[in-house]
């Protein structure tokens, strides 16, 4: 039955994350928490369908306020076009600012298309700390589509492996040639919520107050959120 098979795949991939990725998460936590403590923003870009994972931690109840989405108006249509990401980032930087020492999180399951590759290259040129969330198995199974021959995992300071498989879909269904049941969104959201939660813990451990957003559906949230949002006016798109 598909439901049980898919549940088993999800449990397996989340277990993989827990036993293999926590050290990498901690590497990212150290730099991101320090940046936020200094007034910095974590900039997040999702290539194509990966924007769903990026959006998970932007403006999220119980999440950090200083996280901003680098929106792609083509919704991934241009992710194979070289030269597009630098233009997108220039426009974003003009609107919201990109400061050396801040973090950029780039999400791409395959990690092979020009947009995520160029985002990593451009971020490093600008002095940002880079984190890539990708599937190492998928990325290593196929050539880069960027003229440099580089892939996302080869360009970022910290790699977070979502444990995904080549093609993302995980379950064979009798009578159907292709697999169904993708895993990257579930695994990616799990990893990023671990990352955000650990940044919050780290700031508290260091005696700092993390800027955490309260659900708009909780009494008193308007006043509480205004206080934590105020220092970031002009730097957030939401």
| Average pLDDT over every residue of 188-192 | 98
Is residue 144 over pLDDT 90? yes
Q: What percent of the chain has pLDDT over 90?
A: 99
> For position 55, what pLDDT does the model report?
97
> For position 73, what pLDDT does the model report?
95
For the chain, report the end-to-end CA distance as a whole number of angstroms: 41
> For position 47, what pLDDT does the model report?
87
Burial 145-158 (b: 16+ CB within 10 A, else e): bbeeebbbbebbbb
> For position 182, what pLDDT does the model report?
98
Name the residue ranges covered by the structural domains of the chain.
2-232
Six-digit token string for 74:
């083509």
**Secondary structure string (H, E, C) spanning 155-182:** CCCEEEECCCCCCCEEECCCCCCCCEEE
> For position 123, what pLDDT does the model report?
98
| Average pLDDT over every residue of 115-141 | 98
| Average pLDDT over every residue of 60-68 | 98
* Residue scoring higher pLDDT (48 or 32): 32
Is residue 238 over pLDDT 90? yes
Six-digit token string for 132:
């890539």
Is the alpha carbon torsion for 151, 154, 158, 162 positive or negative? positive
> For position 95, what pLDDT does the model report?
98
> For position 220, what pLDDT does the model report?
92
- Per CATH, domain 2-232 is 3.40.50.10490: yes
Q: Specify the DSSP class assigned to residue 43.
A: E
**Cβ contact 33:57 at 8 Å:** no
3-45 pLDDT tens trace? 999 999 999 999 999 999 999 999 999 999 999 999 999 999 9
Mean model confidence pLDDT for the chain: 97
> For position 76, what pLDDT does the model report?
94
Six-digit token string for 163:
């444990």
| Average pLDDT over every residue of 153-173 | 97
| Average pLDDT over every residue of 72-92 | 96
Burial zone of 134 (CB within 10 Å; 0-12 exposed, 13-18 middle, 19+ buried): buried
> For position 150, what pLDDT does the model report?
98
Listing DSSP states for 124-163 in one string gives HHTT-EEEEEE-HHHHHTS--SSTT---GGGTSSEEEE--
CB atoms within 10 A of CB 93: 15
Maximum CA pair distance of the chain? Answer: 58
């Amino acid at each position: 039955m598909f439901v049980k098979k898919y549940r088993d795949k999800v449990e397996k991939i989340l277990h993989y994350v827990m036993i293999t990725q926590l050290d990498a998460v901690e590497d990212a936590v150290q730099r991101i928490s320090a940046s936020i403590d200094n007034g910095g923003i974590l900039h997040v870009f999702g290539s194509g369908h990966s924007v769903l994972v990026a959006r998970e931690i932007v403006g999220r109840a119980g999440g950090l306020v200083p996280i901003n989405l680098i929106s792609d108006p083509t919704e991934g249509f241009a992710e194979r076009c070289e030269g597009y990401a630098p233009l997108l980032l220039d426009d974003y930087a003009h609107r919201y600012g990109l400061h050396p020492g801040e973090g950029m999180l780039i999400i791409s399951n395959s990690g092979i298309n020009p947009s995520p590759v160029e985002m990593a290259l451009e971020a490093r040129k600008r002095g940002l700390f880079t984190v890539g969330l990708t599937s190492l198995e998928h990325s290593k199974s196929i050539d880069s589509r960027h003229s440099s021959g580089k892939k996302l995992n080869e360009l970022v300071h910290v790699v977070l492996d979502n444990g995904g498989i080549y093609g993302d879909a995980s379950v064979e269904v009798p009578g159907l040639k292709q697999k169904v049941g993708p895993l990257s969104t579930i695994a990616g959201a799990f990893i990023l919520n671990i990352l955000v939660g650990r940044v919050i813990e780290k700031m508290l451990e260091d005696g700092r107050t993390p800027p955490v957003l309260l659900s708009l559906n909780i009494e008193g949230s308007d006043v509480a959120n205004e206080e934590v949002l105020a220092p970031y006016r002009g730097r957030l798109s939401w």
